[in-house]
Amino acid sequence: MVLPLGDYQRTRIIPFVTYAIIAINIAVFLVQEDRGEQFTLAYAATPWEITHNEDIDGPVSIPQRIRVQDPRGRRVRVIEQDVKIEHVPSPIPVRWTILTAMFLHGGWMHLIGNMLYLWIVGDNVEEVLGRFRYILVYLACGLMASIAQIVANPDSVIPTLGASGAIAGLMGAYVVWFPQNQIRVLVFRFIADLPAFIVIGGWIVLQIWSGAGSLQAAGESGGVAYLAHVGGALTGIFVGFLFYQRAQYIRSLDFATGWQVYPEDR
């Protein structure tokens, strides 16, 4: 298990937008906890609903492949059985759920994991982009993440939710700008410092690998939306190259004076 704990890349700003996004996600999750599964399902994004622009207002049964082990544990066989997917009517046009789903989470661990990554990389990305562009990029990465998942399986009736795609985009931009930046990580029981291109770059490669595998089983099960992560990360990488020179300029500024510092002055 590799868990990031923080980075060493200082910023010259107070990342108000990052704090606000974290606060919004936590507030929405508390509402989810209070109102229950019906609220979450109403605002989650379902590919079939978005591609057909039609709201599913009741449970849907779909065939799903399940691995079953025989009583002696010697063989594993795959069987197909119907699984009921719950749906409730959405109070908003269904295509707007592609945005509302970005602020929903499936549980405390899902929320904490996403907010931890956002806490680590968000301030640096916000400093480079500025507050307004940062908001646009965050939403764009989340949107492209959802689109990637929908394009892969447009007829899926499994609801999707989470800020993972948007945060994957911020991580993609971060690793383009700060590949050598050291990130503290918890590796099993040990704390180590590893460069961002290993921690974040390795995570992105893993998502691409897992996403390629999930294409073969699209729609068979729920779980992690790897293709959404890939879509968000690739969007963030594009943004990273688009604003690369700006990132390098900001990185060259001296923290104490705000003046640009050249390598020979360090």
Angle formed at CA 41 by CA 163 and CA 117, multiple of 5 degrees:
15
Torsion of CA 23, 27, 30, 35, to 10 degrees: -160
**Count of CB atoms situated within 10 Å of the CB of 228:** 28
DSSP secondary structure code for residue 49 in this structure: H
Residue 218 neighbours by CB under 8 Å, 6+ apart: 152, 153, 156
Residue 130 neighbours by CB under 8 Å, 6+ apart: none
Catalytic residue (choose from 164, 210, 221, 252):
164
Judge whether 229 counts as a catalytic residue.
Answer: yes
Judge whether 105 counts as a catalytic residue.
Answer: no
DSSP secondary structure code for residue 215 in this structure: G
Residues with catalytic annotation?
A: 164, 229
